[in-house]
């Protein structure tokens, strides 16, 4: 008995027609059938997409103006800056803002009515606020870089109503200056 090589078996399916490039023909696993279909025309690849521009909602004019005056970086805080308008009252205007750290990196805003810190993380959110008519003092400590706001007289035992870290001293000064300019501003000190 002679060994005749057996041709490999091709599985059944629609394949390019060996006689006509414009067709595909059905192969039943053993032979070509009479069933044909026009070969789908390959669509040209779409042109490469332009670099995606990050979509950022339009900021309120007072927020945009305050962002323009920030001397430090807002790295890691732009999400909160974009959300800041949702946390403001209709009559409230932002006088100054800066990047700050509470439970995470967020934004500290001095408004005409209050001092507001906003951080929005994946797991948690932190919103701290002190109305100017409740605040008795705000103290920025240059050595620790913490801005603390008190609703009682600031003593060693006094509990801070708000404390956030502001790394850029110039921005801390801008927040303090804006707070002093606000109508019912408390006594503000830089230590």
- Domains (range + CATH), the chain: 11-41 (no CATH), 61-190 (2.30.29)
Phi, psi of 23 (to 5 degrees): -120, 160
What percent of the chain is modeled with pLDDT above 70? 82
Asked if 97 and 109 touch (Cβ cutoff 8 Å), the reply is yes
Q: What is the mean pLDDT of the chain?
A: 82
Tell me the per-residue pLDDT of 114-134, one tens digit each, with 9 for 90 and over. 999 999 988 889 999 998 888
Q: What sign for the dihedral angle of Cα 92, 98, 101, 103?
A: positive
Q: What pLDDT score does 93 carry?
A: 92
Q: What pLDDT score does 73 carry?
A: 73
Of residues 181 and 54, which shows the higher confidence score?
Answer: 181
Confidence class of residue 43 from pLDDT cuts 50, 70 and 90? Answer: low
| b/e sequence 157-188, b meaning 16+ C-beta within 10 Å | eeebbbbbbbebeebbbbbbebbeebeebbeb
Q: What pLDDT score does 15 carry?
A: 85
């Amino acid at each position: 008995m002679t060994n005749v090589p057996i041709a490999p078996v091709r599985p059944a399916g629609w394949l390019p027609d060996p006689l006509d490039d414009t067709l595909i023909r059905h192969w039943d696993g053993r032979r070509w059938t009479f069933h044909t279909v026009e070969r789908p025309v390959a669509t040209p690849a779409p042109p490469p997409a332009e670099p995606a521009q990050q979509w950022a909602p339009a900021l309120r004019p007072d927020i945009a103006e305050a962002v323009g005056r920030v001397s430090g970086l807002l790295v890691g805080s732009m999400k909160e800056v974009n959300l800041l308008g949702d946390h403001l009252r209709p009559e409230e205007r932002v006088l100054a803002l800066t990047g700050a750290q509470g439970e995470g990196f967020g934004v500290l805003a001095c408004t005409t009515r209050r001092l507001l810190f906003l951080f929005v993380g994946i797991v948690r959110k932190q919103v701290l606020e002190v109305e100017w008519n409740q605040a008795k003092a705000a103290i920025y400590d240059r050595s620790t870089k913490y801005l603390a706001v008190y609703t009682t007289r600031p003593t060693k035992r006094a509990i801070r109503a708000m404390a956030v870290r502001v790394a850029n001293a110039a921005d801390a000064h801008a927040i303090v200056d804006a707070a002093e300019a606000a109508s019912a501003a408390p006594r503000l000190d830089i230590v």
